[in-house]
């Protein structure tokens, strides 16, 4: 890590929990900006658009705008354009993210149509975003029916849970596993830990993997996924971090910090060429 020029940072669990800044997070990001390091906030958050995230973070004091944020929904839109152009898509997600799915042909809510008789309402792709109240039996069973009829399965991430101010909440990865097994298919992942997601962030900053650091609270999807691409991985002990998850991980992070507040000191110890 002798030539760091850019920092990739997860949002939920690293900078914020339930959109409230973690101690020292605002100052840490300001210090990183002050030394002219490139920054992309790389997030699997699926409940808000980039503009909404930027507005919320800005109001909390973080020096960011929408162009600094790369979301799983935005990556999903790019993926579908490249791999499933023109596909009719059914979206199962908690939150309105249509603004970040520009160019994606989203069908009406399945409850408004009879997909057995109306072929125009049968999706080519089922998109699974983030979990919430919308993930009830009826919605999951409709998705299962689409998959049985040949729809492809695209998921924004595989996160099993995330940290809120109430504690850990179940996420869509738990439901995704059930859909995959029941429909005998495998989801195409567009957010972390997909390599293309990290590549898009690096391309946006114009740096190579060896010039970047990835900071996250998910050891597998954030940190080790980045390390496999040659990016320096930094795990923080906030958010969804659990000691047992760390011990059971498939490898070890390059660095472990108590929180993102300690990141500027780590970066200060690096000689940037």
**Which tens digit of pLDDT belongs to each residue from 116-159?**
445 557 899 999 999 999 999 999 999 999 999 999 999 999 99
Q: Measured between alpha carbons, how far is 160 from 248 in angstroms, rounded to an integer?
A: 15
Confidence band for 112, pLDDT divided at 50, 70 and 90: very low
Q: Is residue 25 within 8 Å of residue 260, measured between CB atoms?
A: yes
Cα 112–chain centre separation: 30
Confidence check: pLDDT of 192 > 60 = yes
CA distances, 146 to each of 22, 119, 185, 235 (Å): 41, 12, 12, 38
Per-residue confidence (pLDDT) for residue 89, from 0 to 100: 97
Res. 235: pLDDT tops 60 = yes
Handedness of CA 252, 2, 262, 166 (dihedral sign): negative
Question: Does the pLDDT value for residue 22 go beyond 90?
Answer: yes
Average the pLDDT over 244-260 and give the result: 97
The two beta strands, 125-128 and 88-92, are: parallel
pTM here is: 0.84
Q: Is the peptide bond before 193 cis (omega within 30 degrees of 0)?
A: yes
- How far is C-alpha 256 from the chain's CA centre? 21
User: What pLDDT, on a 0 to 100 scale, did the predictor assign at position 119?
Assistant: 52
Contact (CB, 8 A) for 213 and 232: yes
pLDDT band at 162 (very low <50, low <70, confident <90, very high): confident
Q: Report the C-alpha gap between 174 and 272 in whole angstroms.
A: 41
C-alpha closest to that of 172 among 42, 41, 45? 45
234: part of which helix (H) or strand (E)? Answer: strand 232-236
Who has greater pLDDT, 16 or 116?
16
């Amino acid at each position: 890590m002798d030539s760091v020029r850019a920092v990739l940072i997860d949002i939920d669990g690293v900078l914020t929990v339930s959109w409230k800044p973690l101690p020292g997070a605002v100052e840490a990001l300001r210090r990183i900006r002050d030394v002219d390091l490139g920054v992309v906030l790389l997030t699997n958050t699926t409940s808000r658009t980039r503009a909404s995230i930027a507005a919320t973070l800005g109001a909390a004091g973080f020096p960011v705008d929408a162009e600094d944020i790369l979301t799983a929904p935005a990556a999903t839109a790019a993926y579908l354009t490249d791999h499933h152009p023109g596909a009719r898509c059914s979206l199962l997600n908690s939150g309105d993210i249509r603004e970040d799915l520009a160019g994606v042909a989203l069908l009406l809510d399945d409850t408004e149509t009879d997909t057995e008789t109306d072929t125009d309402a049968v999706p080519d792709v089922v998109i699974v975003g983030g979990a919430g109240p919308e993930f009830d039996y009826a919605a999951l069973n409709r998705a299962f029916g689409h998959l049985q009829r040949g729809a492809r399965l695209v998921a924004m991430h595989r996160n099993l849970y995330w940290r809120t101010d109430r504690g850990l909440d179940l996420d869509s990865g738990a439901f995704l596993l059930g859909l995959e097994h029941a429909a005998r298919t495998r989801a195409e992942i567009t957010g972390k830990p997909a390599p293309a997601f990290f590549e898009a962030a690096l391309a946006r900053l114009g740096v190579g993997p060896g010039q970047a650091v990835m900071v996250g609270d998910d050891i597998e999807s954030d940190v080790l996924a980045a390390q496999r691409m040659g990016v320096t991985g930094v795990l923080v002990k906030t958010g969804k971090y659990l000691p047992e998850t760390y011990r059971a991980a498939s490898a070890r992070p390059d660095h472990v910090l108590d929180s993102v507040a300690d990141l500027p000191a780590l970066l200060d110890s690096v000689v940037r060429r």
